[in-house]
């Protein structure tokens, strides 16, 4: 039986535990690759990767690489020692361990029990073998750890670690005709294997007491066993660092006393001193200016700004730069986009149906404005959760508050889900997930099907939150159609509010849409003549009180029964229904625009939430299954985070109280999570390296006191993001150079202690915006709305996609963000997946980026514009080259670089003279990326190479090379 050797392997995996085991994996990989003589040691002779590398890996300097070198993390943190709040990882399999000495089960083991074992025991065995059941057949109970081990009349049911001797396993295997359980039929093979595996791993079992309902509570009605651990200890859970309220620590004293400018530096320096590193020198002024300008605005500094700052000898030169950048409108665009990553912002529903959200852009603009005007962060959060319930000074405020609630409405939606209850719970789940991860750094949604595996969050807490969202109505629009079973209302904005009506539609677009509508109408009319049983009056009935409920018109379009042959009938009915849906949605869309394409006041709609007619508490869904309802849970919050300051739900859904509870100085997580989010955008990594997970499975802070100091100060500063940013970028730490120091590199290769500034790769937005800016193409002003605002449909037609994906010379933050169709310029550079809360993007360098920068017509267009701008300057070629470096890199070229560029111009001209075989333009096809050459006439749309003189061609190639270089995409 091959199953036997599986168990130890599984245990080995468990033994790896939850702490940072990558080093051990690394060792295993090295051993696999390099250990020729099998002694589990690697000698220098076996190591082909160079001495320096070997020395780095050989931490204990004993001349061989062995387990000892891989046990601890650099910098002396004990990677392998179990953290105080974590269950100990199993180091040994525990067959037959006596109860007194038994180790605690690991989270993985408990996970396995909850997923695989408890449901089986509950469904298959509790019926006859539980404390609640009077029968307790054979004297056996299996509903607690003690009972299952004690067993019944024939002996222990389970002997931990010994499946073969465990009666339970003998029974479920059905091998012994006298002992077959469950009696009504053998369990599936995999279930039997699971049980075997469970016993082999030592039968980890958290059921210390009799499950849930006290004996007295059991009634004659069907019992629903709840898959909940009863052993979540909230009191103990509150001791976890991030659930403790932050206290403002005094800045530590340091040996070196002249380096720190302020508290931030003092905390950082103390940590450096403690870990044996010291700050490198400061960055030069140009490097600092480029760094801070990109960080605060997402744009490069101009050569003029660089020159002015270099020449500025006044005392407050740095302060004035920072204040200028904080005041620039681009600050809102930059930090707004960071929040949009966290808010999983997108303009379509994603998943199978992927229909557009034409009004989502209002939320985008709201977020940008909030950061631009430094809206206090607590207000910002409250508005997003409960803007509709907040008092408003005037109609402008009211409008803003409503738009803010789009946060809850713009998540991905499985609109084709047929089961309405399932759909509703999925929407609620997404809201819980986004809210708790974005604002609290907690993964509460893990508790949908079972108690949270790592954090003290019982399933009841999840359903307490679910009740709040179930008592609210989510309004996201969309039209009924094939694949969309769940269109919803939208919210109307107050008529007097100072808000744009929305984007305009071009006359051609309007004509195309009208044409489509008429064609669809013709199909409907034809069908109407043939099938008189249509019921056109239906839609009037369920018109909602506020806003439009688009697409309801299509609901009456059931296939007409009793027509000719069944099959043509079905096909026709589907076609007619689709046409009718299309007419309805196009009518609805066209009604929002004037004949000339300008938006009408009817277009003043927003996504968002409002209170449901009647608030209600949710019932726990056992294992998250909608048809498996458990007990009702009162609406409430995450109990482990509650304290004296926690409000109680007074009326309505409880969203307002939820908002107050989250956006409160008493909440231990809210401020910490936000300061960490801001920090990582300025220093490359979060103080908590897992910005969306401050729970027990996240990583602990590298500088806990600094984190708390920042969090408390943030609240004291009135939750001002700009003040926080200002403090960070005016620190001495932020001014450090990015230069390596081999002494410190060895101790702290990941620059955890910030003894130098880490390089960071720019995001796709900044790379594209910098290219547009270099070419002088970038529009200064924000566009009104989004092109998505003039559309109302799924994303199938190629023509529509080409229209939406057209590269407009606007800042990248304003490009349409459609789920699964993210603009290429952003997608290739690790854009935040818009279906997830993303606090920290990846920074990869892969071939698809290279191909895009080499061959995309867009990039070539930017390069041509850059070249023309340079050529329009007077002066010599060398002066132009210098200027180009200043624009692209914020510095002058070295002599070697200048020589290299001159050489390039010579060689390029020669190479250009020997063309390839004539290449055809890319064929039109179904491929999304192989776009046909773009049309002429748009700003900056000089068809690349079309009629370019050789000089411009060469300069464009040079400019494109600057775009392609590593330096362009890195900030030092």
Partner 1 sequence: MDCCHPDRPVSRREILRAASCGFGFLAFSGLARLAAMVPQEEAGGDPLAPKRPHFPARAKRVIFLCMSGGPSHVDTFDYKPRLATDDGKPAPGRRGGAKFLASPWAFRQHGQSGLWISELFPDLAKHADRLCLLRGLHTDVPAHAQAFVQLHTGSFQFVRPSLGSWTLYGLGTANQNLPGFVSLSPPSGNGGAQNYGSAFLPAIYQGLRVGVDRGPRAARRDDEDAVANIRNPRMPTKAQREQLDLVQRLNRERLRKPGDDAGVEGVIESYELAFRMQAEVPELLDLKKESAATLEAYGIGAGDSDGFGRQCLLARRLAEAGVRFIEVNQGGWDHHRDLRQSLERSARSVDKPAAALLADLAARGLLKDTLVLFGGEFGRTPYAQNGDGRDHNHKGFTMWMAGGGTKGGFSYGATDDHGLEAVEGRMSLHDWHATILHLLGLDHEKLTFNYAGRDFRLTEVYGTVAKDLLA
Q: Which is nearer to partner 1, 636 or 823 (CB)?
A: 823
We find the least distance from the C-beta atom of residue 128 to partner 1, in angstroms, to be: 25
User: For residues 557 and 533, is the Cβ–Cβ distance under 8 A?
Assistant: no
**Strand 491-492, strand 605-606: pairing:** antiparallel
Q: Which is nearer to partner 1, 144 or 697 (CB)?
A: 697
> Please, which of residues 556-615 interact with partner 1 by CB under 8 A?
566-567, 570
Regarding 972 and contact with partner 1 (CB under 8 A), the answer is yes
User: For residues 574 and 559, is the Cβ–Cβ distance under 8 A?
Assistant: yes
Given 4, 26, 496, 601, the residue binding partner 1 (CB under 8 A)? 26
We find the least distance from the C-beta atom of residue 845 to partner 1, in angstroms, to be: 3
We find the least distance from the C-beta atom of residue 71 to partner 1, in angstroms, to be: 15
Q: Mask of contacts with partner 1, 809-828, x by CB under 8 A? A: -----------x---x----
Q: Which is nearer to partner 1, 126 or 831 (CB)?
A: 831
We find the least distance from the C-beta atom of residue 136 to partner 1, in angstroms, to be: 32
Burial class (CB in 10 A: 0-12, 13-18, 19+), 162: middle
We find the least distance from the C-beta atom of residue 191 to partner 1, in angstroms, to be: 10
395-404 vs 361-372: helix crossing angle, rounded to 10: 110
> Please, which of residues 277-336 interact with partner 1 by CB under 8 A?
none
In the block, residue with structure tokens 């003029």: 304
DSSP string, 916-959: PSPPPPPPP-S-SSSPPPPPSSSTT---TTTT--HHHHHHHHHH
**Measured distance CA(816)–CA(830) in Å, rounded:** 16
In 3D, which of 350, 298, 334 has the Cα closest to residue 836? Answer: 350
User: For residues 143 and 207, is the Cβ–Cβ distance under 8 A?
Assistant: yes
Regarding 4 and contact with partner 1 (CB under 8 A), the answer is no
**Strand 472-475, strand 629-633: pairing:** unpaired
**Measured distance CA(169)–CA(172) in Å, rounded:** 5
Mapping DSSP to helix (H, G, I), strand (E, B) and coil, where does residue 544 land?
coil
Identify which range of 398-406, 605-613, 704-712, 736-744 contacts partner 1 by CB under 8 A.
736-744
**Strand 608-611, strand 472-475: pairing:** antiparallel
803 forms beta bridges with: none
Q: Which is nearer to partner 1, 111 or 312 (CB)?
A: 111
Given 33, 307, 543, 591, the residue binding partner 1 (CB under 8 A)? 33
Q: Mask of contacts with partner 1, 879-918, x by CB under 8 A? A: ---------------x-xx--xx--x--xx--xx-xxx--
Q: Which is nearer to partner 1, 429 or 792 (CB)?
A: 429
Tokens of 316: 């407050």
3-state secondary structure 133-157: CCCCHHHCCCCCHHHHHHCECCECC
We find the least distance from the C-beta atom of residue 952 to partner 1, in angstroms, to be: 12
User: For residues 834 and 822, is the Cβ–Cβ distance under 8 A?
Assistant: yes
Q: Which is nearer to partner 1, 32 or 255 (CB)?
A: 32
Q: Which is nearer to partner 1, 478 or 860 (CB)?
A: 860
> Please, which of residues 739-758 interact with partner 1 by CB under 8 A?
739-740, 750, 758
Q: Which is nearer to partner 1, 219 or 916 (CB)?
A: 916
Distances (CA, A) of 166 to 93, 190, 412, 663: 17, 17, 47, 53
Regarding 498 and contact with partner 1 (CB under 8 A), the answer is no
Q: Which is nearer to partner 1, 742 or 937 (CB)?
A: 742
User: For residues 83 and 700, is the Cβ–Cβ distance under 8 A?
Assistant: yes
In 3D, which of 238, 206, 729, 792 has the Cα closest to residue 453? Answer: 206
Q: Which is nearer to partner 1, 647 or 689 (CB)?
A: 689
> Please, which of residues 777-806 interact with partner 1 by CB under 8 A?
796, 798
Beta strands in 591-721 (DSSP E): 605-606, 608-611, 618-621, 629-633
Q: Which is nearer to partner 1, 643 or 964 (CB)?
A: 964
**Measured distance CA(775)–CA(781) in Å, rounded:** 16
Identify which range of 432-440, 582-590, 802-810, 842-850 contacts partner 1 by CB under 8 A.
842-850
Regarding 2 and contact with partner 1 (CB under 8 A), the answer is yes
> Please, which of residues 372-431 interact with partner 1 by CB under 8 A?
414, 417
Helix residue spans in 16-142 (DSSP H) = 22-34, 51-57, 107-112, 118-120
Q: Which is nearer to partner 1, 42 or 605 (CB)?
A: 42
> Please, which of residues 692-711 interact with partner 1 by CB under 8 A?
693, 697-699
User: For residues 729 and 296, is the Cβ–Cβ distance under 8 A?
Assistant: yes
User: For residues 211 and 125, is the Cβ–Cβ distance under 8 A?
Assistant: no
Given 91, 873, 945, 951, the residue binding partner 1 (CB under 8 A)? 945
Q: Which is nearer to partner 1, 414 or 809 (CB)?
A: 414
We find the least distance from the C-beta atom of residue 186 to partner 1, in angstroms, to be: 11
Would you tell me how many other CB atoms lie within 10 Å of the CB of residue 328?
A: 16
We find the least distance from the C-beta atom of residue 33 to partner 1, in angstroms, to be: 5
Q: Which is nearer to partner 1, 185 or 532 (CB)?
A: 185
> Please, which of residues 919-938 interact with partner 1 by CB under 8 A?
919-930
Q: Which is nearer to partner 1, 175 or 596 (CB)?
A: 175
Given 195, 466, 837, 957, the residue binding partner 1 (CB under 8 A)? 957
Tokens of 318: 């740095």
> Please, which of residues 98-157 interact with partner 1 by CB under 8 A?
108, 111-112, 115-116
Identify which range of 47-55, 165-173, 254-262, 658-666 contacts partner 1 by CB under 8 A.
47-55
> Please, which of residues 200-229 interact with partner 1 by CB under 8 A?
none
> Please, which of residues 335-374 interact with partner 1 by CB under 8 A?
351-352, 354
Number of helices (H) and strands (E) in the chain: give both, helices first: 36, 8
We find the least distance from the C-beta atom of residue 910 to partner 1, in angstroms, to be: 8
We find the least distance from the C-beta atom of residue 601 to partner 1, in angstroms, to be: 36
Q: Which is nearer to partner 1, 198 or 476 (CB)?
A: 198
Contact partners, residue 427, CB within 8 Å, separation at least 6? 411, 413, 469, 474
Given 507, 546, 844, 879, the residue binding partner 1 (CB under 8 A)? 844
Regarding 765 and contact with partner 1 (CB under 8 A), the answer is no
Tokens of 312: 């500025």
We find the least distance from the C-beta atom of residue 745 to partner 1, in angstroms, to be: 9
Given 49, 88, 802, 938, the residue binding partner 1 (CB under 8 A)? 49
Burial class (CB in 10 A: 0-12, 13-18, 19+), 956: buried
**Measured distance CA(271)–CA(18) in Å, rounded:** 26
Contact partners, residue 763, CB within 8 Å, separation at least 6? 298, 337, 826, 829, 830, 831, 841
Given 38, 50, 100, 185, the residue binding partner 1 (CB under 8 A)? 50
Regarding 20 and contact with partner 1 (CB under 8 A), the answer is yes
Regarding 967 and contact with partner 1 (CB under 8 A), the answer is yes
User: For residues 603 and 592, is the Cβ–Cβ distance under 8 A?
Assistant: yes
User: For residues 702 and 275, is the Cβ–Cβ distance under 8 A?
Assistant: no
**Separation of CA 241 from chain center:** 24
φ, ψ (nearest 5 deg) of residue 228: -115, 145
Q: Which is nearer to partner 1, 28 or 133 (CB)?
A: 28
User: For residues 754 and 260, is the Cβ–Cβ distance under 8 A?
Assistant: no
Mapping DSSP to helix (H, G, I), strand (E, B) and coil, where does residue 227 land?
coil
Number of residues that bind partner 1 (CB under 8 A): 117
Q: Which is nearer to partner 1, 217 or 797 (CB)?
A: 797
């Amino acid at each position: 039986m091959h199953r036997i050797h599986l168990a130890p392997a599984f245990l080995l995996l468990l033994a790896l535990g939850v702490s940072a085991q990558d080093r051990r994996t690394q060792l295993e990989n090295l051993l696999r690759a390099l250990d020729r003589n099998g002694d589990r040691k690697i000698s220098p002779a076996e190591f082909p990767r160079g001495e320096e590398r070997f020395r780095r890996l050989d931490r204990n300097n004993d001349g061989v690489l062995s387990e000892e070198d891989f046990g601890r993390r650099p910098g002396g943190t004990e990677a392998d020692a179990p953290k105080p709040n974590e269950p100990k990882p199993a180091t040994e399999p525990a067959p037959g361990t006596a109860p007194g000495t038994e180790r605690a089960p690991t989270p993985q083991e408990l996970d396995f029990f909850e997923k695989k074992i408890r449901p089986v025991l509950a469904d298959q065995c509790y019926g006859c073998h539980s404390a609640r059941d009077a029968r307790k057949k054979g004297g056996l109970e299996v509903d607690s750890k003690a009972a299952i081990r004690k067993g019944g009349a024939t002996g222990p049911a389970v002997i931990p670690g010994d499946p073969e001797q465990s009666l339970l396993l003998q029974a479920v295997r059905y091998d012994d005709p006298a002992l077959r359980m469950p009696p009504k039929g053998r369990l599936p093979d995999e279930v039997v294997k699971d049980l075997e595996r469970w016993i082999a791993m030592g039968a980890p079992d958290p059921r210390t007491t009799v499950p849930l309902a006290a004996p007295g509570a059991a009634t004659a009605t069907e019992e629903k066993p709840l898959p909940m651990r009863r052993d979540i200890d909230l009191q103990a859970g509150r001791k976890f660092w991030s659930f403790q309220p932050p206290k403002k620590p005094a800045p530590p004293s340091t040996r070196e006393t002249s380096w720190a400018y302020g508290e931030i530096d003092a905390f950082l320096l103390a940590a450096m001193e403690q870990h044996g590193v010291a700050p490198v020198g400061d960055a030069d002024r140009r490097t600092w200016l480029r760094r801070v300008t990109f960080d605060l605005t997402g744009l490069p500094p101009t050569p003029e700004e660089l020159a002015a700052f270099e020449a500025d000898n006044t005392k407050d030169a740095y302060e004035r730069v920072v204040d200028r950048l904080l005041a620039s409108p681009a600050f809102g665009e930059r930090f707004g986009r960071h929040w949009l990553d966290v808010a999983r912002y997108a303009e379509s529903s994603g998943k199978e149906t992927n229909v557009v959200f034409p009004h989502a852009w209002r939320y985008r603009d709201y977020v940008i404005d909030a950061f631009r005007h430094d809206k206090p962060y607590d207000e910002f959060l409250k508005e997003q959760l409960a803007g509709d319930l907040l008092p408003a000074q005037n109609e402008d405020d009211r409008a803003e508050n409503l738009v803010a609630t789009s946060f809850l409405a713009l998540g991905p939606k499985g609109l084709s889900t047929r089961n309405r209850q399932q759909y509703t719970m999925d929407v609620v789940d997404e809201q819980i997930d986004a809210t708790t991860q974005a604002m609290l750094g907690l993964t509460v949604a893990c508790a949908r099907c079972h108690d949270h595996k790592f954090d003290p969050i019982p399933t009841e807490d999840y359903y307490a939150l679910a009740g709040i969202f179930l008592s609210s109505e989510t309004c996201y629009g969309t039209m009924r159609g094939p694949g969309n079973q769940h269109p919803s209302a939208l919210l109307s904005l107050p008529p007097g509010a100072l808000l744009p009506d929305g984007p305009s539609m071009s006359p051609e677009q309007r004509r195309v849409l009208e044409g489509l509508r008429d064609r669809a109408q013709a199909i409907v009319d034809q069908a109407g003549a043939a099938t008189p049983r249509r019921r056109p009056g239906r839609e009037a009935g369920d018109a909602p009180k506020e806003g439009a409920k688009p697409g309801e018109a299509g609901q009456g379009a059931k296939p007409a029964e009793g027509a000719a042959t069944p099959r043509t009938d079905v096909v026709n009915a589907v076609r007619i229904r689709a046409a009718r849906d299309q007419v309805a949605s196009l009518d609805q869309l066209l009604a929002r625009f004037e004949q000339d394409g300008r938006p009408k006041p009817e277009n003043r709609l927003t996504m968002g939430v409002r209170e449901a007619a009647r608030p209600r508490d949710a019932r726990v869904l056992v294992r998250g299954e909608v048809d498996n309802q458990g007990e009702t849970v009162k609406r409430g919050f995450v109990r482990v985070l509650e304290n004296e300051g926690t409000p109680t739900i007074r009326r309505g859904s409880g969203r307002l109280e939820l908002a107050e509870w989250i956006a409160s100085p008493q909440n231990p997580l809210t401020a910490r999570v936000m300061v960490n989010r801001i920090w990582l955008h300025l220093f490359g990594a979060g103080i908590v390296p897992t910005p969306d997970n401050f729970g027990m499975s996240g990583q602990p802070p590298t500088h806990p006191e600094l984190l708390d100091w920042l969090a408390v100060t943030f609240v004291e500063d009135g939750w001002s993001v700009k003040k926080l940013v200002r403090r960070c970028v005016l620190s001495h730490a932020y001014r450090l150079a990015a230069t390596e120091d081999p002494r410190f590199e060895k101790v702290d290769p990941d620059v955890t202690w910030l003894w130098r500034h880490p390089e960071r790769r720019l995001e796709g937005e900044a790379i594209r915006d910098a290219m547009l800016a270099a070419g002088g193409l970038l529009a200064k002003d924000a566009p009104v709305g989004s092109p998505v605002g003039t559309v109302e449909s799924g994303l199938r037609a190629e023509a529509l996609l080409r229209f939406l994906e057209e590269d407009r010379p606007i800042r990248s933050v304003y490009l349409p963000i459609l789920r699964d169709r993210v603009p290429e310029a952003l997608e290739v550079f690790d854009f935040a997946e818009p279906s997830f809360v993303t606090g920290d993007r990846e920074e990869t360098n892969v071939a698809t980026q290279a191909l895009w920068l080499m061959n995309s017509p867009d990039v070539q267009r930017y390069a041509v514009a850059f070249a023309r701008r340079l050529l329009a300057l007077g002066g010599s070629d060398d002066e132009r080259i210098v200027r180009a470096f200043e624009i692209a890199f914020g510095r002058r070229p070295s002599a070697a670089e200048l020589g290299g560029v001159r050489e390039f111009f010579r060689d390029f001209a020669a190479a250009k003279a020997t063309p390839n075989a004539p290449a055809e333009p890319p064929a039109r096809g179904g491929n999304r990326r192989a776009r046909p050459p773009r049309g002429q006439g748009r700003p900056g749309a000089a068809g690349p190479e079309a009629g370019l003189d050789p000089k411009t061609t060469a300069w464009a190639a040079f400019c494109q090379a600057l775009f392609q270089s590593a330096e362009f995409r890195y900030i030092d």
